[in-house]
């Protein structure tokens, strides 16, 4: 059993949890993920490692409440226990040899981008963090990004947080102003990563994206997380989750990601109704 040490609501839809998992914390690195279950009969939920503390033996995850599994997880509080917490899984972010990097985070994907920016910054890399949300109410981790970025550029669709526009607008502006990056690391919604990759391809800038397709076992056995990269089938859980953004077939990934959206929404509603009955 794994004890929840801390729980914090970052906005109305996103929750941060620190979980006591010393063996996972001992090996965790930026870019990797864990798979947990909130209850013994719950679904397996893959979540990227948002932070870790080896001395404390804790791992922090940040999740968006979108389905039944994350809804049930969000009803747990500090002091509660979860039965399964497996990891670290996947490959860690490549950090060596990078002197100047643009880290682009979109929406809840910013929770995945932050540990990468932090690790690079602590290695002495010049980090330009471009972080985008639809509006100010959805913004998370602002102070954390500021503390671990050489340059921090917040953007929002409506201009209520930072500059008005898209992360691609801000990235293009920086590139055209003369900024030269060894690499761009983009993490967020699939369409965002697609258009960041199209932009950087124009300027021949190496680009890494973090893929989060449908995933079940996290060991490459089920094939649920397959995607096409450079014309070859890859599995995000063992070959990734990070890939060359210029080689990913984003249209295929976007189509596959929407397959269970209606089912997921219905399951979420049923779970919400169940908890509402219990309260009443």
pLDDT > 90? residue 266: no
- Answer whether residue 259 shows pLDDT above 70: no
**pLDDT interval class at 185 (50, 70, 90):** very high
Confidence check: pLDDT of 192 > 60: yes
Q: What is the DSSP letter of 138?
A: G
Q: What is the pTM of this model?
A: 0.85
- Tokens, residue 222: 């089920």
Q: If we measure between CA atoms, which residue out of 177, 150, 152 comes closest to residue 167?
A: 152
- Separation of alpha carbons 37 and 45, rounded Å: 6
Average pLDDT over residues 168-187: 95
% of the chain exceeding 70 in pLDDT: 92
Domains with residue ranges and CATH for the chain: 2-89 (2.40.30.10), 100-210 (3.40.50.80)
Residue 93 has pLDDT above 90, yes or no: no
Q: Which residues contact 71 (CB under 8 A, 6 or more apart)?
A: 65, 268, 271, 272, 275
272 pLDDT higher than 60: no
Q: What is the mean pLDDT of residues 202-207?
A: 96
pLDDT for residue 127 is more than 90: yes
How many CB atoms neighbour CB 233 within 10 A?
10
């Amino acid at each position: 059993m794994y004890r929840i040490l801390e729980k914090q609501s970052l906005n109305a839809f996103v929750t941060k949890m620190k979980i006591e998992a010393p063996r996972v914390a001992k090996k965790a690195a930026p870019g990797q993920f864990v798979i947990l279950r909130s209850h013994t009969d719950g679904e397996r939920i893959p979540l990227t490692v948002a932070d870790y503390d080896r001395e404390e033996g804790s791992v922090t995850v940040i999740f968006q409440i979108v389905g039944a599994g994350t809804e049930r997880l969000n009803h747990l509080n500090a002091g509660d226990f979860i039965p399964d917490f497996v990891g670290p899984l996947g490959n860690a972010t490549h950090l060596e040899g990078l002197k100047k990097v643009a880290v682009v985070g979109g929406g809840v994907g910013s929770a995945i981008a932050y540990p990468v920016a932090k690790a690079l910054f602590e290695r002495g890399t010049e980090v330009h963090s471009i972080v985008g949300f639809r509006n100010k109410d959805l913004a998370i981790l602002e102070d954390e990004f500021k503390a671990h970025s050489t340059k921090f550029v917040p953007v929002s669709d409506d201009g209520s947080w930072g500059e008005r526009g898209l992360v691609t607008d801000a990235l293009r502006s920086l590139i055209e102003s003369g900024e030269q990056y060894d690499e761009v690391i983009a993490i967020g919604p699939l369409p965002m990563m697609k258009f960041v990759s199209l932009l950087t391809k124009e300027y021949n800038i190496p680009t890494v994206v973090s893929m989060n397709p449908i995933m079940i076992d996290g060991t490459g056995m089920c094939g649920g997380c397959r995607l096409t990269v450079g014309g070859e089938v890859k599995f995000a859980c063992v070959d990734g989750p990070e890939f060359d953004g210029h080689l990913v077939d984003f249209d295929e990934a976007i189509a596959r990601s929407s397959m269970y959206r209606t089912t997921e929404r219905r399951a979420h509603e049923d779970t919400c109704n169940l908890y509402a009955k219990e309260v009443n």
